[in-house]
Homo-oligomer: A and B are copies of this chain.
Amino acid sequence: MIATVVGVGLIGGSLALSLKEKGLANWVIGVDNNEENLRKARELNIVDEATSLEDAMNRSQLIVLAIPVDGLLKLLPSVLDKVKPDHVVMDVGSTKDIILQLVAGHPQRGRFVAAHPMAGTEYSGPEAAVRNLFTNKTMVLCDVKNSAEDALEVIENMVDKIGMRLVYMNAEEHDLHTAYISHISHITSFALALTVLEKEKEHGRIFELAAGGFESTVRLAKSSPDMWVPIFKHNRSNVLDVLDEHINQLQQMKGLLESEDYEAFYKLIQKSNKIKKILK
C-alpha cells in the first residue's frame, strides 16, 4: 500500500515510521506546506518521497492528515471532494466535534475515519518523530458509525498492527474527556511556566533549585502554540469549563491557607491523593 502523510511533524512523522516498520505501507509520501520540514523528513528517511497533495492522492490508498486542527478544518472538505472510492482518509486531530460537524453532510463522509492517538511529546517537527511513539498507547476513533465499513477496517487493522489500544467514543464525549485529561494539563503548565518566568526577573537564582518535581509539572509548557491555540479554540467551552473548576480548586486552597485552616487543607490533599488509583 502507498500511504500519504500530510504534515510531517511529530505525529505524522512518527506514524509514517510506524507504517513502514510494520509493513503497512511499502511507500510513504510526505506532503507539507513547510518546505524545510519536508526536506528534513526526506533526509531523516521519515518519508520516501515529497510531492503535492494532488499527485500524492492520485497514487495513495491511505491519506493521513496530521496537521493542526485549524488547518484540518480547511483541508478535510477539499480532500473529501477529491477522494476515490478506495481512498481512506484519517486525521489525528485533538478535537473532534467541530470537524465532524463540518463534514457531516459530505457525500464522501464514509471514506473518513476520525482518529486521535493519545500519544505525543512536548516537541514538534520531523526531528521530534520517533519510532514506537504509539506502542501501547490509546487510539480514539470517533463517530465510527458514519465511516464506511471497509474504511474503518483499514484503520482498525493499522491501529492493531502498530500496537495501540482502541477506544470508541462519540465526538462530544471525546472533546469533553480530552479537555480534562490533556488540554487542562497544558493550560496549567503554560501558566506555571509564566508564573515562574515572571518572578525570575526579580529573583534570578530561582532555577538553580529546579528539580524533578518542577520539571515534571512544567514539561508541557514547551509545547507549540501552533498546535495548541487551535485546540483551545475548537474545544473552547469544555476548556473554559474545566479551567473554571481548576481556578476554583486553587482558590479554595488559597482560602484555606489564608485562614490557616490546615485541617481542611490536609483533607483536601488526602482527597487529591485518590489520583493514585488512576495513575500507575
Residue A35, interface by CB 8 Å: no
Which chain B positions have C-beta within 8 A of A121?
212
Q: Would you list which residues of chain A between 262 and 280 have a CB under 8 Å from chain B?
A: 262, 265-266, 268-276, 278-280
> A254 to B243, Cβ gap below 8 A?
yes
Of A9-17, A18-26, A38-46, A185-193, which binds chain B?
A185-193
In the complex, what distance in Å separates the CA atom of A247 from the CA atom of B190? Answer: 12
Which chain B positions have C-beta within 8 A of A147?
none
CB-CB nearest in chain B for A254: B243
Q: Would you list which residues of chain A between 231 and 263 have a CB under 8 Å from chain B?
A: 232-233, 236, 239-240, 242-247, 249-251, 253-254, 257-258, 260, 262
Q: Would you list which residues of chain A between 176 and 207 have a CB under 8 Å from chain B?
A: 176-178, 180-182, 184-199, 203, 205-207
A contact residues vs B (CB 8 Å cutoff): 118-122, 137-138, 140, 167, 169, 173, 176-178, 180-182, 184-199, 203, 205-225, 228-229, 232-233, 236, 239-240, 242-247, 249-251, 253-254, 257-258, 260, 262, 265-266, 268-276, 278-280
Q: Of B223, B245, B274, which one neighbours A199 at CB under 8 angstroms?
A: B245
In the complex, what distance in Å separates the CA atom of A7 from the CA atom of B146? Answer: 60
> A279 to B190, Cβ gap below 8 A?
no
Answer whether A240 and B220 are a contact pair too, CB < 8 Å, given A118-B209, A196-B180. Answer: no
Q: Of B193, B243, B271, which one neighbours A272 at CB under 8 angstroms?
A: B193
Q: What are 9 A-B residue pairs whose CB atoms fall within 8 Å in the complex?
A: A140-B209, A167-B209, A169-B205, A181-B207, A181-B210, A182-B211, A215-B279, A219-B279, A225-B270
> A236 to B257, Cβ gap below 8 A?
yes
In the complex, what distance in Å separates the CA atom of A247 from the CA atom of B258? Answer: 15
CB-CB nearest in chain B for A116: B209
